[in-house]
């Protein structure tokens, strides 16, 4: 009995990082208490009809687009980068920078709008990140970014849409 309880606990600990984006977390940023993002549990097959096949492969099968292939690499206007699936705002343009990697890169995401999990696909440990609302894969975060945070949020352009500051953000997809 004791052994079973122990194994159950290990099981819970092992699955926590994977489902961390599902946990209701209150985020405090700049002294402002933000409401946690409520997960949108839409089946993958529904997303398949809402996004392009290329975007679907990145967002819901964790593919990586070819470096240098995204028009968003050259997007330097003021605005917001939103999730290409559910339209949740993920990055602000003032945090975009040229990393030289060939993928749109940011120094930080919008607080509370991103979830992370550990990814061992390439043998080396990487930190995968995704939209906190729909779970759509966005990219990986590395610790070789510019000061002060030292973070490089390396994003697939196919997983994002850009909205000019002068345009209204689209309503979140439900």
Tell whether residue 59 is a contact of Zn ion (CB under 5 A).
no
Q: Which of 109, 110, 129, 133 forms a contact with Zn ion (CB under 5 A)?
A: 133
Q: Which of 72, 134, 141, 158 forms a contact with Zn ion (CB under 5 A)?
A: 134
Q: What's the closest the beta carbon of residue 141 comes to Zn ion, in angstroms?
A: 17
Tell whether residue 154 is a contact of Zn ion (CB under 5 A).
no
Q: Which of 72, 86, 110, 154 forms a contact with Zn ion (CB under 5 A)?
A: 86
Tell whether residue 110 is a contact of Zn ion (CB under 5 A).
no
DSSP string, the chain: -HHHHHHHHHHHHHHHHHHGGGS---EEETTEEEPPPPP----HHHHHTTS-HHHHHHHHH---PPTT--GGGG--SSEEEEETTT--EEEEGGGEE--SSSS-EES---TTSEEEEEE-TTSS-EEEEEETTT--EEEEEES---TTT--EEEE-GGGEEEEETTSPPPPPP-
User: Which residues are near Zn ion by CB under 5 A?
Assistant: 83, 85-86, 88, 131, 133-134, 136
């Amino acid at each position: 009995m004791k052994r079973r309880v122990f194994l159950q606990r290990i099981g819970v600990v092992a699955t926590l990082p994977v489902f961390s984006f599902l946990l209701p977390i209150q985020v405090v940023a700049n002294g402002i208490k933000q409401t946690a993002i409520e997960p949108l549990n839409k089946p993958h097959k529904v997303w398949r009809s809402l996004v392009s096949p290329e975007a679907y492969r990145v967002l819901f099968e964790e593919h990586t687009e070819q470096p240098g292939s995204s028009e968003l690499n050259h997007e330097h206007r003021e605005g917001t980068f939103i999730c290409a699936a559910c339209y949740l705002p993920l990055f602000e343009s003032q945090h975009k920078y040229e990393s030289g990697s060939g993928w749109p890169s940011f120094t930080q995401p919008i607080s509370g709008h991103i979830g992370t999990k550990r990814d061992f696909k390439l043998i080396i440990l990487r930190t995968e990140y995704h939209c906190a609302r729909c779970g759509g894969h966005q990219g990986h975060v590395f610790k070789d970014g510019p000061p002060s945070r030292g973070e490089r949020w390396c994003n697939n352009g196919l997983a994002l849409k850009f909205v000019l500051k002068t345009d209204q953000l689209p309503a979140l997809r439900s």
